A and B are shown apart, each in its own frame.
Chain A
C-alpha cells in the first residue's frame, strides 16, 4: 500500500511539471521560469516534439496514467492484487526509458539542460524504483 501511495504522490508532482511544460509549449503563460537553466533552448529545439506531439504531452498522459493506476490500486477491491503494481512498474519502465532518451538528447545533441526536465527525470526514476520495490514485496492481505 505504501508503494502505491508514494507513487500517487510522486505522479501528482510529475503531472504538475509535465502540465506546466505542456501548457508553455502550446502558448499558455509567459516565458518559462527556469532559473539559470536553458529550458527555452530545449523547448524550442526540434526534439521538443515527438511524432508531431509536444514531448510534455506524453508526460501529462504518462503521469496521469500512473496517478490513476496508483489510486485505483489503493481501492479496497484492488489492494490485495498484484495487477496494479505490475501495471505501475510497466508504465514507469516505459517512462524511464523515454526520459533516458530525452536526457541523452539534452546532454549530447541539444547541449542544454532544462531544470524542469531534470526534475521530471528524477521523479519518474523514483517512481520506477518504488514500483520495482513494490513488485518484490508481497501484496498486502485484506480482510474479506
Chain B
C-alpha cells in the first residue's frame, strides 16, 4: 500500500510540473502579423470584392475582424444582402481593413484573412472569423484558432503558416487603415455607397433602399 502512495505522489508532482510548463510556455502570435508596420507601402491592392464587376453600385466596407458590431453585421445582415443585392448583380461589395487600436488581435485576424486570400479563400476566412467570433471575447492569443479556421477553409497550411510568419501583408493592412482615416472612417463597420459615406441603419432593408437610391442616381 505504501508503494501505491509513493507512485501517486510522484505522479502528482510530475503532472503538476507539466501543468505549470503548459501554462507558462507561450509561443505567441507571429509578431510581424500582429503589430503595425514601421513602413507602409502601397502595393496597389484595394480590397477583396464580392459580386459582379459590372454591378452599378459598389459598397465599400471598412471593418475590423475583432469588432462585435462587424461580426453582427456579417452574420445577421450580410446573408440577406448577398442574396438580395450581390447575387442578382446589383451590388459589388468591397472589404477594406480598418483594425481599431483597442483590439489587440484585429491586425492578426486581418492578416490571417489576407493569407487565406492569397490562396483565393478570403471570403471563406472572413466568414470563419466573424461566424466564430467568441475568440474576440477571450483576450487570448487566437493564432491557433485562426489556423483551425484556415484549415476549415481548405487552404494549404504550409503556405498559410509561412505567410503569417512573414507578416507580408501587415503593410497592406496599415495602408487600408490609413486610407480609411483619410476617408474619415469613424468606427467600424463604416460603409461607402458609390463613394458616398452611408449614414443609415446597418440592416439589409436600409441597405436595399440606399442601393436602389444610388442605382437610380447613377441612371439619371
Binding site for B on A (CB under 8 A): 1, 5, 8-9, 12-13, 16, 19-20, 23-24, 27-34, 38-41, 44-46, 74, 112
26 interchain pairs, CB-CB under 8 A: A1-B1, A9-B7, A12-B15, A13-B11, A13-B15, A16-B15, A19-B19, A20-B22, A20-B23, A23-B19, A23-B23, A24-B140, A27-B140, A31-B141, A31-B143, A31-B144, A32-B144, A33-B22, A34-B144, A38-B148, A38-B151, A41-B148, A44-B132, A44-B135, A44-B138, A74-B4
> Nearest CB to that of B128 among chain A residues?
A41
| A29 nearest CB neighbor, chain B only | B23
Q: How far is the CB of A65 from chain B (nearest CB, A)?
A: 17
Nearest opposing residue in chain B for A111, CB measure = B152
Residue of B nearest to A48 (CB): B134
Given A31-B144, A34-B144, A112-B148, A12 and B12 contact (CB-CB distance below 8 Å): yes
| B 135-176 to A, binary, CB cutoff 8 A, 1 in contact else 0 | 100111111110011011000000000000000000000000
What mask results when residues 54 to 97 of chain B are scored 1 for a CB within 8 Å of chain A, else 0? Answer: 00000000000000000000000000000000000000000000
A1 contact set on B, CB distance < 8 A: 1
Q: Would you call B145 and A12 a contact (CB within 8 A)? A: no
Decide: A30 and B132 in contact? CB cutoff 8 A: no
Please count how many residues in chain B sit with their CB below 8 Å of the partner chain's CB atoms: 32
- Asked if residues B134 and A28 are in contact (CB atoms below 8 Å), the reply is no
Quick one: CB contact mask for B30-60 with A, threshold 8 Å, 1 for yes?
0000000000000000000000000000000
B27 and A40: CB pair below 8 A?
A: no
Give the residue name and chain of the A residue nearest to B145 (CB): A40
Which among A12, A33, A40, A112 has the greatest number of chain B C-beta atoms within 10 A? A40
Q: Are A28 and B145 in contact (CB under 8 A)?
A: no
Q: Within 8 Å of chain A (Cβ to Cβ): is B26?
A: yes
Report if B196 contacts A (CB, 8 A): no
The contact of B4 among A5, A19, A29, by CB within 8 Å, is: A5
A30–B145 Cα distance when bound, in Å, is: 12
Among B132, B140, B141, point to the contact of A41 (Cβ < 8 A): B132
Say if the beta carbon of B28 comes within 8 Å of chain A. Answer: yes
- A5 to chain B: which residues have CB within 8 Å? 4
Contact of B1 among A9, A24, A74 (CB under 8 A): A74
Contact B19 A40 (CB under 8 A): no
Please give, as numbers and ranges, the residues of chain A lying within 8 Å of B209 by CB-CB distance.
none
Q: Does B25 contact A (CB under 8 A)?
A: yes
| B141: chain A residues within 8 A (beta carbon) | 30-31
Q: Is B8 at the interface (CB under 8 A from chain A)?
A: yes
B18 within 8 A of A: yes
Whether A29 and B12, one on each chain, are in contact in the complex, defined by CB atoms closer than 8 angstroms, is: no
| A34 and B11 alpha carbons, distance in the complex (Å) | 22
Complex partner residue of B19 from A8, A20, A30, A44, CB under 8 angstroms:
A20
Contact in complex: B8, A30 (CB < 8 Å):
no
Given contacts A12-B12, A112-B148, contact A40 B23 (CB under 8 A): no
Contact status B22-A41, CB under 8 Å? no
Q: Is A12 in contact with B8, judged by CB distance below 8 angstroms?
A: yes
The reply to whether the CB of B24 lies closer than 8 angstroms to some CB of chain A is yes
Q: A19-B19, A44-B132, A74-B1 are in contact. Are A30 and B140 (CB under 8 A)?
A: yes
- Assembly CA distance A16 to B132 (angstroms): 28
